[in-house]
Amino acid sequence: MQQPFKEEFHMDKDITHKTILVVEDDDSIGSLLVDALSQETSYTTILVTDGLQALRVMSSIKPCLVITDYLLPHMDGLELCDRVRSMTETADVPTILMSAHMPEKEVRKRDLVSLPKPFELDDLLDKIESLMERSA
């Protein structure tokens, strides 16, 4: 079930451990991801369109996973990953970085999980399952 982004975002803390935050500025890709995750997993998804919105959401809840595009308005996906890792409350939240133009050197330097676009849904689901098993 997708939760719409609101400026004043509040969510029941009991379900935040089952929440995936999707950060994607392309509406069609964002909707596709949310629909696929809703159909194929038991996670609640929240879709936002930029890194600043993602940080606002994470000030209220702690998602179990962040899936972010690399090229975003206001800050890129690498900066978002760095900021998420620098905050005590979210430092342990795993992140998947998606991009058609993956900055491989930076991804390796930060030890990030990456997913090149275009990708198969099964590849994304496998990465999610693997990350959730590691963090359980």
pLDDT tens across the length of the chain (136 residues): 555 554 444 445 444 568 999 999 999 999 999 999 999 999 999 999 999 999 999 999 999 999 999 999 999 999 999 999 999 999 999 999 999 999 999 999 999 999 999 999 999 999 999 999 988 7
Residue 134: what pLDDT?
86
Q: Is the pTM of this model over 0.85?
A: yes
CA 50 to CA 53: how far, in whole Å? 6
Residue 7: what pLDDT?
45
Place of tokens 């990465």: 127
Phi, psi angle pair for 115, to nearest 5°: -140, 105
Domains present along the chain, CATH in parentheses: 17-127 (3.40.50.2300)
Residue 16: what pLDDT?
53
| Cβ neighbours of residue 80 closer than 8 Å, sequence gap 6 or more | 23, 51, 54, 55, 66, 68, 72
- Asked if residues 32 and 8 have their Cβ atoms less than 8 Å apart, the reply is no
CA 104 to CA 93: how far, in whole Å? 21
Residue 6: what pLDDT?
46
Residue 8: what pLDDT?
45
